[in-house]
Structure formats: C-alpha cells, structure tokens
Amino acid sequence: MDKKILKIGHRGAMGHEPENTLRSFKKALALNVDAIELDVYVCKTGELVVIHDDKVDRTTNGIGYTEDKTFVELRQLDAGKGELIPTLEEVLDLVDKSVIVNIELKGRSTAIATYHVIDKYIKEKGWSELDFMVSSFDHHELNKFKHLYPQIPIGVLLEGVPLSYADCAVELNAQSINLSLDFINQDFVDDAHQKGLQVYVYTVNDYDDIAKVKELNIDGIFCNFPERL
C-alpha cells in the first residue's frame, strides 16, 4: 500500500486563484487538500493578516510595506479578482476544522500574535492542537512560538541543506522539516526520518517533479495545483 502523503495547498490553490485569499482557500478545499498553507504578518494596527510578501506591491494594487499599513488601509486593496487581504481568523472561520492549517510566520512579532489566535480557536471554537502547524524560515520566531505553545506541531523551513542535515529541527523540537524541491535528496530524507521528523517539500507543481519526490519517501507536498497530487 502506498504511504499517505499530505496534500498541502500552497497559499490555498494559487495556481488557480489569487494567492492567500479566501477564494484561493475555498478552491483548495474544493480540491480535497489535507492542509492549506498561508503566510502571516502583523500590520501597523496589530491585526494578523494573511499575505506572503513584506510589501503589498506584488499581490495587490497597492504599494508599500505590509507592516507599515493599518488594517483599514490594507482592506482597501484588491488582492486579485476583487478579493481582500484576509485576517487569519477569517481563514480559520472558512476552513472550520475541515483541514489542517499550516501558518507560516513571515514578519516580526508573528509568533505571539499567532499564539493568541490559535489559543482562542482552541479554547473557544473547538479546534484541536493537531488542526494547526506553524512553520518559518525565521527559526528565532519559530522558537518563540514553540515556547509559547509547545503542543502545536512546528515545521522548520530551510532554503538549502545544512551541514548537519536535520539537526536544527531536532533542536527546535519540530515535527517536520520543510525543504525546497531544489535541494531535496534521499540522504536528507533518510536523516530526517531517522531523527523522527517528517519531511515536507515545497513547491512542487510539475508532474515529473511530483513523481520524483514521492519516490524519496517524503511525507507531504506543497503544491499550487493540489489536484495534481
């Protein structure tokens, strides 16, 4: 029997809809993902908003830094097809415990802000700790989150392959290590598995690449076109 590989919709289903919008997350759910991945920043007025870049220029009709704008200012922007930049709460309300939500910490102070939102949804809205994953390239921010909420699974994001392979994820007491398609190899996967970690690969969209990474015995794939998985 084939091993179950987690199907993770990257920024929703961004191959089909504007990334990190409710429309994109709805599409991912319609395509039967196991999890959705999204990115968060804290804006000037303190709200946790779902957007990938430190600037709004690429994904909206606005310009300037995400963290320098108030929530009201951000909500006036078009994030594609008339969609608004959502809050993390709006995405969680849409998903409503139907799939895992992988929250990538992008900006400053996102660990504590994310902790408060997750805590509220677990205490007040019936979510469980395993409904969430929190990941980041910023291992200091990730470490902060892990200390605030040790029960929530975390994923260490890496650009390349460290000398010590997956040791950094072990140090952080992570559940998974998430590596780019450009760097993934069998030695890395085997090392991570020996250390009790899951291995997720981003961002794998091409059919040949999907087949290739599946052969490495990985545990999850981030994809812009989740139906291809």
Catalytic residues: 10, 52
Give the residue ranges of DSSP H helices in the chain.
Answer: 22-30, 71-75, 88-95, 110-124, 139-148, 167-171, 186-194, 207-215
Maximum distance among all Cα pairs of the chain, rounded to whole angstroms = 51
Closest CA to 95 of 55, 50, 135: 50
Distance between CA atoms of residues 109 and 165, nearest Å: 28
Distance between CA atoms of residues 103 and 84, nearest Å: 18
Distance between CA atoms of residues 19 and 81, nearest Å: 11
Check if the beta carbon of residue 182 is closer than 8 Å to that of residue 202.
no
Other CB atoms closer than 10 Å to residue 75's CB: what's the count? 16
Distance between CA atoms of residues 161 and 54, nearest Å: 25
